[in-house]
Chains A and B, each alone.
Chain A
Amino acid sequence: MDVEILARIQFAFTIAFHYIYPPLSIGLGLVMVFFEGAYLRTGNKQYEQLARFWTRIFAVTFGIGVATGIVMEFEFGTNWATYSRYVGDIFGSALAAEGIFAFALESGFLGILLFGWNRVSPRVHFIATVGVWLGSMFSAVWIVVANSWQQTPAGYHVVGEGIHARAEITDFWAMVFNPSSVDRLLHVWIGAFLAGTFLVLSVHAYYLLKNRHVELSKRAFKIALSIAMVSSLLQLFIGHRSADGVAHNQPAKLAAMEGHFDTLAPAHMYALGWVDKESQTVTGIGLPGGLSFLIHGDFKEPVKGLNAFPEDERPGAVNAIFQFYHIMIAIGMFLIALSLYAGWQWWRGKLFEKRWLMWVFVWAVILPQIANQTGWFAAEMGRQPWVVYGLLRTSDALSKAVTANQVLFSLILFSFIYSLLLALFLYMMNKKIKHGPVEGTLQEHRPKQEGMVEGMEG
């Protein structure tokens, strides 16, 4: 295989694996802020118990997120040297800002969040929790800004020619607020809220089904469900805005998402379908002229199709992009229906009586994860063949000094390590969830620290 394919597989693999964890950290962070805030306000020990329990889960997701995130930061330099030289002037300031404003805040307060329960007052601990959560939110800001700049470059000019060409920043704020960054950031944030809240919903639904920690779980479930209802509905509007942005800024990507080829025809919007690239047709069901309506407000108006772009300037994997995009939308719709239905049952006072609904929530944890992944795959594959839209091709962005064997070596290395990490992660989560927020470990006063440990070692 050639270096380009291997490097792309490696990047896709390492980023997809990494992206399991940060959305969980952001979403769980939000829920923890609610739990701990409720504890501070009401003084109810159950909220403290919830906050402590979810902090332990958070620690595992955060730890793996950091370790796999460092890989991402260095991978630009190792595998994509030409890209790094080309975009460093612009992209670098976003990454440096992430490190200094977001990651430092997050990791700095993490020590207090995890180990500070007995060392600082509840109020300071709450501040640390908020600090960690805000840090994770800010990380998303800088990373999404950088990625959005690759989708819709702004605030730059290109200097130099050939191998020395690079983009230089001319306007920092135009770069930060490039045409797609705000919509995409909101989309990512809410996707993360959904990932975190559905994990909380899943675990507490499981406890309710097993008749464990019942009162505690009902409290947690209601808080998480409230966040899930708001988030899933907001995601509909934000997602729509994002699609609207793609239509204006990256028409080739939008055309691929809906499998639209013919420029002179109105474009349809599918609920599901299959794209045949050879015959340039989509077999499926959907709203005829829907995409035309989305863009122009008219079902009959033609939309720029893939054929309007030269063969080497449009994404290749049209069916894959179509499928990823539609899986994301289908899941988004299902999450709205699920959380609203549960909200309605809550209002009727019958939420916790419906065992089948609780089982749905137990398994629904996987859905926001799939939606987050497929959404990114659609966004990134839809940008191809460009790594920076319209400026730099993916095939030109590689490290010229790196050989296929080196990339293959590191790909095998990371496949091995990440498989191990995933197994450990699932094992640990399972263990912690089975163990649960144990009653009776709450300290009314500071614990006898040394004694406890010796007891444990027994």
Chain B
Amino acid sequence: MATFLGLDYPTLWFLVVGGVFSGYAILDGFDLGAGAWHLFLKKEKSRRIALNAVGPVWDGNEVWLVIGGGALFAGFPVVYATLFSSMYIPFMLFLAFIIFRATAIEFRSKEEMAWWRKTWDITYSLSSIMLSILLGIILGNVLQGFEIGADYEFAGNWLNFFNPYAIILGVTTLSLFMMHGAIYLTMKTEGRLFTKLKLLLRRAIIFFILMFVITTAYTLIYFPHLSDRFKEVPILFIFPLLTFLTIANIPRLVNKSKYRSAFLFSALTVSFSLAIVAIELYPVLIPSTLDAANSITIYNAASSEKSLSILLTIAAIGAPLVLSYTAFVFWTFRGKVKLDETSY
């Protein structure tokens, strides 16, 4: 099997997919988090500023989801097919909320009527909350595994996707995004709105730390096998350790009013958490609870070596491009939000 830097192609593509989803979670994470806080902001102008803080970037952020979906389809078609057809209802709800959120952002400020804006404010906030929770629910089910038959088709009941562990992960994801989003909004605002957001940010940090502790404890108690990898290769303990340190650093930086650094650390929290998930699973992508032999791994799910080599080439050319426009856009809209005639 061909390798590059000592890693085989499926592993490399696993890293690419992981990187893309981590990028998505960091970027859309703050949009979704900001959306989740939307109804906590009471004044019309505060809501507009919060909306316009994500205004120029949310669409570009969502592209990472599109790239991630494409990357799964291309490199691990079996995962793409099985995951999406098994979790049909959660994904359909996810798509519905994606549309509702986009519509709400687009149309909210286009009319002056109070009922119009209120309806879209509620739609925007509720969709952001539901999207965050659904992402966590999907992740929770991937971690636990579900009933996959020998033909890679789902052989269970979809209602079980809404199990307690998945819901806890859903709420944890929401809390992480709300902390991440609150830091972002704090960075982008000034005046009384800024003061209010500082208060909300404190609550967000407490909410997240609480959920993080619950999830960790639940995982260790009910799914002890998920920590096997760390016991086998103790050096990997560095990841949970880094995660704890990163999380602990956030309140410290917030207290010092270093919001930009705090944002960096909440972004790191997102990617370290996903790294832990990746380490727990690798090389399995979706464990089958019926028979371990039916589990979908990066090897039985992968495209051909030829196809993966093309994909890796596309990624190597594309990644610097995507990163450079992303950086350029964020740089253009740096600093505090200013509303003008083109704003939402």
The B interface is mostly helix, strand or loop, or mixed, namely helix
Q: A131: nearest residue on chain B (CB-CB)?
A: B325
Across the interface, do A449 and B91 meet the contact criterion of CB distance under 8 Å? Answer: no
CB neighbours (8 Å) of B255 from chain A are: none
> Contacts A104-B63, A168-B304, A399-B88; is A81 near B342 (CB within 8 Å)?
no
> Contacts A111-B59, A401-B86, A431-B110; is A73 near B92 (CB within 8 Å)?
no
Query: Is B81 part of the binding interface, using a Cβ–Cβ cutoff of 8 Å?
Result: yes
Query: Is A280 part of the binding interface, using a Cβ–Cβ cutoff of 8 Å?
Result: no
> What CA separation (Å) do A450 and B343 show in the bound complex?
11
Query: Is B318 part of the binding interface, using a Cβ–Cβ cutoff of 8 Å?
Result: yes
> What CA separation (Å) do A81 and B91 show in the bound complex?
14
CB-contact partner of B74 in A96, A166, A424, under 8 A: A96
> Contacts A70-B98, A77-B85, A410-B92; is A111 near B57 (CB within 8 Å)?
yes
> Interface segment, B215-223, B245-253, B307-315?
B307-315
Across the interface, do B48 and A88 meet the contact criterion of CB distance under 8 Å? Answer: no
CB neighbours (8 Å) of A110 from chain B are: 59-60
Query: Is B340 part of the binding interface, using a Cβ–Cβ cutoff of 8 Å?
Result: yes
> What CA separation (Å) do A104 and B68 show in the bound complex?
12
Across the interface, do A452 and B84 meet the contact criterion of CB distance under 8 Å? Answer: no
Query: Is A152 part of the binding interface, using a Cβ–Cβ cutoff of 8 Å?
Result: no
Across the interface, do B332 and A120 meet the contact criterion of CB distance under 8 Å? Answer: yes
> Contacts A89-B77, A104-B321, A111-B333; is A81 near B84 (CB within 8 Å)?
yes
CB neighbours (8 Å) of A452 from chain B are: 339-341
Across the interface, do A447 and B340 meet the contact criterion of CB distance under 8 Å? Answer: yes
Across the interface, do B303 and A114 meet the contact criterion of CB distance under 8 Å? Answer: no
Give min CB distance, A454 to chain B, whole Å: 8
Across the interface, do B106 and A103 meet the contact criterion of CB distance under 8 Å? Answer: no
Q: B338: nearest residue on chain A (CB-CB)?
A: A449
CB-contact partner of A99 in B66, B75, B88, B95, under 8 A: B66
CB neighbours (8 Å) of A400 from chain B are: 85, 151, 153
Across the interface, do A88 and B98 meet the contact criterion of CB distance under 8 Å? Answer: no
> What CA separation (Å) do A91 and B102 show in the bound complex?
27
Across the interface, do B73 and A95 meet the contact criterion of CB distance under 8 Å? Answer: yes
CB neighbours (8 Å) of B89 from chain A are: 406, 409
Query: Is B78 part of the binding interface, using a Cβ–Cβ cutoff of 8 Å?
Result: yes
> What CA separation (Å) do A163 and B153 show in the bound complex?
11
Across the interface, do A67 and B102 meet the contact criterion of CB distance under 8 Å? Answer: yes
CB-contact partner of A116 in B96, B155, B304, B332, under 8 A: B332
> What CA separation (Å) do A112 and B85 show in the bound complex?
37
CB-contact partner of A92 in B75, B83, B322, under 8 A: B75
> Contacts A100-B322, A108-B322; is A449 near B62 (CB within 8 Å)?
no
CB neighbours (8 Å) of A76 from chain B are: 73, 80, 84
Give min CB distance, A145 to chain B, whole Å: 13
Query: Is A84 part of the binding interface, using a Cβ–Cβ cutoff of 8 Å?
Result: yes
Across the interface, do B321 and A70 meet the contact criterion of CB distance under 8 Å? Answer: no
Across the interface, do A71 and B95 meet the contact criterion of CB distance under 8 Å? Answer: yes
Task: Please classify how large the interface on chain B is, using the bins under 10, 10 to 19, 20 to 34, 35 or more.
Answer: 35 or more
> What CA separation (Å) do A109 and B332 show in the bound complex?
11
Q: B154: nearest residue on chain A (CB-CB)?
A: A401
Q: B329: nearest residue on chain A (CB-CB)?
A: A111
Across the interface, do A169 and B310 meet the contact criterion of CB distance under 8 Å? Answer: yes
Across the interface, do B92 and A413 meet the contact criterion of CB distance under 8 Å? Answer: yes
Query: Is B299 part of the binding interface, using a Cβ–Cβ cutoff of 8 Å?
Result: no
Across the interface, do B45 and A114 meet the contact criterion of CB distance under 8 Å? Answer: no
CB neighbours (8 Å) of B63 from chain A are: 99, 103-104, 107-108
Give min CB distance, B124 to chain A, whole Å: 13
CB-contact partner of B341 in A168, A170, A447, under 8 A: A447
Across the interface, do A118 and B322 meet the contact criterion of CB distance under 8 Å? Answer: no
> Contacts A89-B77, A90-B307, A96-B71; is A112 near B62 (CB within 8 Å)?
no
> What CA separation (Å) do A119 and B73 show in the bound complex?
38
Query: Is A337 part of the binding interface, using a Cβ–Cβ cutoff of 8 Å?
Result: no
Query: Is B292 part of the binding interface, using a Cβ–Cβ cutoff of 8 Å?
Result: no
Query: Is A209 part of the binding interface, using a Cβ–Cβ cutoff of 8 Å?
Result: no
CB neighbours (8 Å) of B76 from chain A are: 88
Across the interface, do B332 and A81 meet the contact criterion of CB distance under 8 Å? Answer: no
CB-contact partner of A81 in B82, B95, B158, B326, under 8 A: B82
Q: A100: nearest residue on chain B (CB-CB)?
A: B318
CB neighbours (8 Å) of A169 from chain B are: 303-304, 306-307, 310
Across the interface, do A70 and B95 meet the contact criterion of CB distance under 8 Å? Answer: yes
Across the interface, do B60 and A115 meet the contact criterion of CB distance under 8 Å? Answer: no
Query: Is A333 part of the binding interface, using a Cβ–Cβ cutoff of 8 Å?
Result: no
CB neighbours (8 Å) of A63 from chain B are: 59, 102-103, 105-106
Residue of A77, A90, A402, A454 most packed against chain B (CB within 10 A):
A77
Query: Is B244 part of the binding interface, using a Cβ–Cβ cutoff of 8 Å?
Result: no
Binary interface encoding of chain B residues 209-250 relative to chain A, with 1 for a CB under 8 A from any of its CBs, else 0: 000000000000000000000000000000000000000000
CB neighbours (8 Å) of B83 from chain A are: 77
CB-contact partner of B65 in A70, A92, A97, A105, under 8 A: A70
Q: B302: nearest residue on chain A (CB-CB)?
A: A89
Query: Is B40 part of the binding interface, using a Cβ–Cβ cutoff of 8 Å?
Result: no
Query: Is A279 part of the binding interface, using a Cβ–Cβ cutoff of 8 Å?
Result: no
CB-contact partner of B318 in A91, A101, A115, A417, under 8 A: A101
Which of chain A's residues 414-458 have a Cβ closer than 8 Å to chain B?
414, 417, 420-421, 424, 428, 431, 441, 447, 449-450, 452-454, 457
> What CA separation (Å) do A424 and B120 show in the bound complex?
12
Query: Is A60 part of the binding interface, using a Cβ–Cβ cutoff of 8 Å?
Result: yes
Across the interface, do B332 and A108 meet the contact criterion of CB distance under 8 Å? Answer: no
Q: A118: nearest residue on chain B (CB-CB)?
A: B340
Which of chain A's residues 138-169 have a Cβ closer than 8 Å to chain B?
159, 163, 166, 168-169
Across the interface, do A453 and B314 meet the contact criterion of CB distance under 8 Å? Answer: no
Query: Is A82 part of the binding interface, using a Cβ–Cβ cutoff of 8 Å?
Result: yes
Q: B107: nearest residue on chain A (CB-CB)?
A: A424
> What CA separation (Å) do A87 and B341 show in the bound complex?
46
Give min CB distance, A328 to chain B, whole Å: 29
> What CA separation (Å) do A347 and B341 show in the bound complex?
39
CB neighbours (8 Å) of B107 from chain A are: 424, 428
Binary interface encoding of chain A residues 374-418 relative to chain B, with 1 for a CB under 8 A from any of its CBs, else 0: 000000000000000000000000011110001001100110010
Query: Is A85 part of the binding interface, using a Cβ–Cβ cutoff of 8 Å?
Result: yes
CB neighbours (8 Å) of A356 from chain B are: none
Q: A56: nearest residue on chain B (CB-CB)?
A: B342
CB-contact partner of A402 in B74, B88, B99, under 8 A: B88
The 7 closest A-B pairs by CB, nearest first: A88-B77, A92-B74, A77-B84, A108-B325, A100-B318, A111-B56, A399-B85
Interface residues, chain A, with chain B CB atoms under 8 Å away: 59-60, 63-64, 66-71, 73-74, 76-79, 81-82, 84-85, 87-93, 95-101, 103-105, 107-112, 114-120, 131, 159, 163, 166, 168-170, 172, 399-402, 406, 409-410, 413-414, 417, 420-421, 424, 428, 431, 441, 447, 449-450, 452-454, 457
A–B Cβ pairs within 8 angstroms, 22 of them: A67-B99, A67-B102, A70-B62, A70-B69, A70-B95, A74-B69, A77-B69, A78-B88, A81-B81, A84-B77, A84-B84, A92-B73, A92-B75, A96-B73, A96-B315, A99-B69, A100-B315, A104-B322, A105-B321, A111-B329, A112-B332, A449-B340
